[in-house]
Amino acid sequence: MEFIKKLKFDSQGLIPVIIQEMKSKDVLMMAYMNKESLRRTLSSGKTVFYSRKRKRLWLKGETSKHFQEVKGIYLDCDQDTLLIKVRQIGGACHQGYKSCFYRRLKKDGNLQIVRKKVFNPGKVYKDIETEDRG
């Protein structure tokens, strides 16, 4: 865990993390980790993030069971961003899509949905406001 000391966390103790599906190479999501969530990710083999809004750690899939199995962790050249390659189980996006990047900005300024939902968030996140997750 010596490499953690070399990482450049921001003033809140966080580092941005890009999650990419190993097989398809799709970028699934972006989140933040602190030292503890990174340690838990390394020890469990599943992604654990820090929620800035809820101010707590969260295991990706703790509610949905759509876990991310870690296949590789990469550091950028400045050591201030991580790329984690995963095997995604189910969808990564709380809106029901495989990727959080399911909308494309069109030239006219409107958004176009470019992916299909892989699950119904209303059934997965019972009693949780899906518009406000993340």
Supply the CATH number for residue 45's domain.
Answer: 3.10.20.810
Residue 131, domain member (yes or no): no
Task: Output the pLDDT for position 126.
Answer: 78
The per-residue pLDDT for 131 is: 46
Q: Of 35, 27, 33, nearest to 4 (Cα)?
A: 35
99 in a structural domain: yes
Q: Considering the domain boundaries, does residue 15 fall inside one? A: yes
- State pLDDT tens for residues 95-123: 999 999 999 999 999 999 999 999 999 99
Closest CA to 82 of 12, 133, 10, 132: 10
d(CA 94, CA 132): 9
- Token pair in block for residue 122: 């209303």
- Residue 13 located in a structural domain: yes
94 domain residue, yes or no: yes
Where the chain has pLDDT below 50, the residues are 130-134
What end-to-end distance do the CA atoms of the chain give, in Å? 27
Q: How much is the pLDDT for 1?
A: 75
> Does 132 fall in a domain?
no
In this predicted structure, what is the pLDDT of residue 127?
61
d(CA 113, CA 65): 24
Count of domains forming the chain = 1
> Would you say residue 72 lies in a domain?
yes
Q: What is the pLDDT of residue 128?
A: 58
Mean of pLDDT over the chain: 94
Domain membership flag for residue 6: yes
For the entire predicted model, the pTM comes to: 0.90
Domain limits for position 110 = 2-125
Q: Which two tokens stand for residue 126?
A: 């019972």
